Amino acid sequence: MKKYLIFWFLLLTVTTLFAQTTYIPTENEWAYHYLDRLELKKEALFDNIHTSVKPYSRQKVAETVQRLNADIDFFNAIDRVGNFYLMRETNEWKSEKSQYDKPLLKYFYRYKSDFLLIDQPDFTLKVNPVLHLEFLKELDNEEQLFQNTRGVEIRGMISQKLGFYSIITENQARWMSYAQSYIRKPFLALPGENRFTSFKNSTGVDFLSARGYLTFEPIRHIQMQFGHDRHFIGNGERSLLLSDFAGSYMFFKINTQVWKFHYTNLFMELTEQLEGTLGNVWGFADGFRGKKYAAIHHLSLNASSRLNIGFFEAVLFDRSNGFEWNYLNPIIFYRAVETQLGSPDNILLGADFKWNPLKKLSVYGQFILDEFNFESIRNQDGDWRNKSGFQLGVKTIDLFNVSGLDIQAEYNEVRPYTYAHLDSTRNYTHYNQPLAHPLGANFREGLLIFRYQMRNKIQFNLKNMYAIYGGDNDTTNWGQSLFANYNTREQDKGNYIGQGIENNVWFSQLTVSYPWRHNIFIDVHYVFRRQEIAELEELTQSHTGGIGIRMNIGRKEFLF
């Protein structure tokens, strides 16, 4: 009954909505990077965008860019490329739109950002094809590697009161050997996706991907979003709080932004761990998926013109009769609710910050706390209950005064058994994938990323990673897997990061992209990955090159 009441309440409020918007997908890496550049050059935090909460509202991005356009000297040649891109990406909020001189068949690509645009006073509709065709070659691998993605992206507004977005793609792919190994072991999991099956009884995968949502604003400063998608909290390449690594999920989100505060409520319906089938025909069979739930609060505060701080809490739980209604309280401290309920739910606490101390320099970080024991911390005895992690990173732009040469360095570490719980209904996972960092727990990682935008729009992206993590065999639990019951741990004391079977991973990926038209890219890339397991005397290496074309979709990366 409560579900129906909420549904009708939301439906009725549509009649009094304020202007609303859709969001820029988190996989649009260069859009977010362009905005990072603009904020660093501005020498002050954006007042209408809190960058730790992603995705960003197209309306707020448009407002930000238009304000900066008033300062002609603000943009150099590289920033103008990014500025024009962002303006086209948010052109539903502009009175004038960039047109092509010769549209296709008079009706298609009349505007530079859209295959089809219907722009009426009370109705806006954008339709764009989605395509990703890529051919890859891996040394010492005779298989034909590829990605074949076709689909459609639709977004729009009704009377500027109700926004809608949907992207649907049909996909077949066979990626490099280490990605194949991740997908099939130790259990089936495809990064960023949910259900999939084998492609033609081979090592390839076949999957349908669909994301979409509605947005509405019942009162000014409070925006609601309901649908099926992914979210990200943080300013880094990784997030220890909530990342977009896992597949999409059903959610209801409330964004409240007033003065210097941005408060987020996120309620999620997730999927428990699944057992798949292996063999020649492998993947997930038809059938009902077990459900679990999560509720998240995140408060972001612009403490000064250069400093942003955030506070995070999340609860993972399962109820045989559905959602735990006590967790719908938008402001209460979840630990207090858990105590009153007498439940063993999984509570996570965290914090994040971003500080721009100098022009063109940003420092950011996160801290995640799953559980701790104060006495053991004081004694430094490696108690398994001290489950935490932290991130520290730095970004700078126009390195060595070279316009468009930007660098990002980041360090992440998470202690053993963090995010794990008694069973898969309360661990921090969704559809066999971590909700935070791809490596799970029990790891240290360093990232070094170079991005270079040339004046002719060619983009260079070089990502380097080195990670150490402690793995398990079939009978041990040293704290890396989030799916293992933490009561099966190997020891109570003396735990440390990297314990177990030590894995060392080196990774480099260079991508060169040429934007032929808006959101149409020709990509050439090379990936090197080396993994060493000294204890087992195992060494694997992968060299993979590829070339492809993309339309209105980001590249799927296997950065782990």
The pLDDT assigned to 385 comes to 93
Its pTM stands at 0.94
Q: Do residues 166 and 26 touch, judged by C-beta distance below 8 A?
A: no
Q: pLDDT tens for residues 195-233?
A: 999 988 789 999 999 999 999 999 889 999 999 999 999
Q: Name residues whose C-beta falls within 8 Å of residue 124's C-beta, 6 or more positions apart in sequence.
A: 92, 117, 118, 156, 157
CA dihedral 240, 51, 269, 9 (to 10 degrees): 150
Judged by DSSP in three states, 334 sits in: helix
Mean pLDDT of 179-190: 88
pLDDT tens, 132-141?
999 999 999 9
What mean pLDDT comes out for the span 175-192?
Answer: 91
Residue 425 is encoded by which pair of tokens?
Answer: 């209904």
Q: What is the pLDDT of residue 52?
A: 98
Give the pLDDT confidence score for residue 511 in this predicted structure: 98
Flag the least confident range among 240-254, 313-327, 477-491, 523-537: 313-327
Task: List, in sequence order, the alpha helices (H) in 53-96.
Answer: 58-68, 77-89
Which of 104-108, 110-114, 396-400 bottoms out in mean pLDDT, i.e. has the lowest? 104-108
Kind of pairing between the strands at 145-158 and 162-174: antiparallel
375 vs 157: CA distance, rounded Å: 56
Q: How does residue 412 score in pLDDT terms, banded at 50, 70 and 90?
A: very high
> Which region, left, alpha or beta, applies to residue 398 given φ > 0 means left and ψ of -120 to 50 means alpha?
left
Average pLDDT taken over every residue of the chain:
90
The pLDDT-based confidence of 20 (bands split at 50, 70, 90) is confident
The arithmetic mean of pLDDT across residues 543-554, rounded, is 97
Query: Where does residue 7 rank: exposed (0-12), middle (13-18), buried (19+ CB within 10 A)?
Result: exposed
Domains of the chain as residue ranges with CATH: 2-551 (2.40.160.130)
Q: Point out the least confidently predicted range of 106-115, 393-402, 452-461, 502-511.
A: 106-115
Q: How far is CA 429 from CA 84, 149, 251, 438, in A?
A: 38, 26, 15, 10
- Ordered DSSP codes for 182-247: HHHSSS---TT----EEETTTTEEEEEEEEEEEEEEEETTEEEEEEEE--EESSSSS-SSB-S-SP
pLDDT at residue number 8: 41
Residue from 54, 47, 89, 53 nearest 68 by CA? 47
Task: Determine phi and psi for 557, rounding to 5 degrees.
Answer: -110, 150
The band of 327, judged by pLDDT with boundaries at 50, 70 and 90, is: confident
Query: Is it the case that residue 406 has pLDDT exceeding 60?
Result: yes
- Give the whole-angstrom CA distance, residue 420 versus residue 346: 9
Give the pLDDT score at 238.
Answer: 98
Tell me the mean pLDDT in the region 284-288. Answer: 73
CA distance 439 to 237: 13
Bridge partners (DSSP) listed for residue 338: none
Q: Would you list the DSSP string of 281-321? A: S-BPPSSPPPEEEEEEEEEEEE-SSSEEEEEEEEEEE--TT
Q: pLDDT digits over 68-103, tens only? A: 887 756 778 888 889 889 999 998 887 666 666 677
Task: Say which residue, 111 or 188, is predicted with more confidence.
Answer: 188
Token code pair at residue 38: 């603009």
Q: Is the pLDDT of residue 1 over 60?
A: no
Q: Which residues contact 433 (CB under 8 A, 6 or more apart)?
A: 189, 191, 245, 246, 247
Q: CB under 8 Å to 135, separation ≥6 — which residues?
A: 145, 146, 546, 547, 548
Cβ neighbours for 199, distance < 8 A, ≥ 6 positions apart: 172, 173, 174, 205, 206
